[in-house]
């Protein structure tokens, strides 16, 4: 075999190995998010008939940070979203009534910078909905119709939708909760 041909074959082989290592590192370093939901019963409210609280827990298991922007509610014929967290008015030096009245203030207060969550490697974030919060968060009126969420997803800044494990089952359990109203007949 000729020396230039052998050198070319070795160069192609080394380039292929380098490309494979690069692709593997890109795949390994991407942001990976795990999210799940669970219901916990709040014994501090009523020990005899504790109301449920829906927790949505999110963990970044990847090596790269990820920016989570909203939680999407999905109904039968529609979907809508809310910010993952609400702005802290104390840190922004703005009161809530100014944020509601002035469009420019509202835009700056509810910007992605103030309402998104940045999860670095192995960081954890959770959202909780008590029964009253849940009733307001999963129902929405638009086009003169009531829309009730049957599922939820987390959305990141790139628009990627992250599924929440067990969310449909837990939403259904929250819908079915009826407080036990006991009446004393003394």
Q: Where do we find the tokens 């922007």? A: 69
Does residue 6 lie in a domain region? no
Cα maximum dimension of the chain: 106
Q: Residue 5: inside a domain, yes or no? A: no
Eight-class DSSP state of 73: E
pLDDT along the chain (186 residues), means of 10: 87 96 86 91 83 93 88 89 74 61 67 80 91 84 85 91 93 86 44
Q: How many domains does the chain have?
A: 1
Which residues form the domain of 42?
30-176
* Inside any domain, residue 2: no
Q: Is residue 4 part of a domain?
A: no
User: Do residues 147 and 80 touch, judged by C-beta distance below 8 A?
Assistant: yes
Cα 37 to Cα 9, 103, 113, 153, distances in angstroms:
53, 35, 25, 11
Q: State the pLDDT at residue 164.
A: 94
Is 82 part of any domain?
A: yes
Give residues with Cβ within 8 angstroms of 90, minimum separation 6: none
pLDDT at 165: 95
């Amino acid at each position: 075999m000729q020396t230039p041909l052998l050198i070319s074959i070795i160069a192609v082989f080394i380039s292929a190995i380098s490309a494979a290592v690069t692709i593997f590192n890109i795949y390994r370093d991407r942001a990976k998010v795990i999210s799940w939901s669970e219901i916990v019963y709040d014994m501090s409210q009523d020990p005899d008939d504790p109301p449920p609280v829906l927790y949505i827990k999110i963990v970044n298991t990847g090596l790269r940070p990820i920016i989570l922007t909203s939680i999407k509610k999905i109904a039968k014929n529609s979907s809508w979203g809310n910010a993952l967290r609400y702005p802290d008015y104390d840190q922004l030096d703005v009161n809530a009534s100014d944020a509601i009245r002035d469009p420019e203030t509202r835009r700056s207060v509810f910007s992605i910078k103030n309402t998104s969550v940045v999860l670095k490697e192995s960081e954890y974030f959770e959202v909780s909905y008590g029964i009253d919060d849940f009733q307001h968060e999963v129902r929405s009126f638009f086009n003169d119709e009531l829309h009730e969420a049957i599922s939820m997803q987390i959305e990141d800044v790139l628009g990627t939708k992250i599924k929440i494990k067990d969310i449909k089952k837990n939403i259904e359990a929250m819908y079915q909760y009826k407080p036990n109203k006991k009446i004393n007949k003394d």
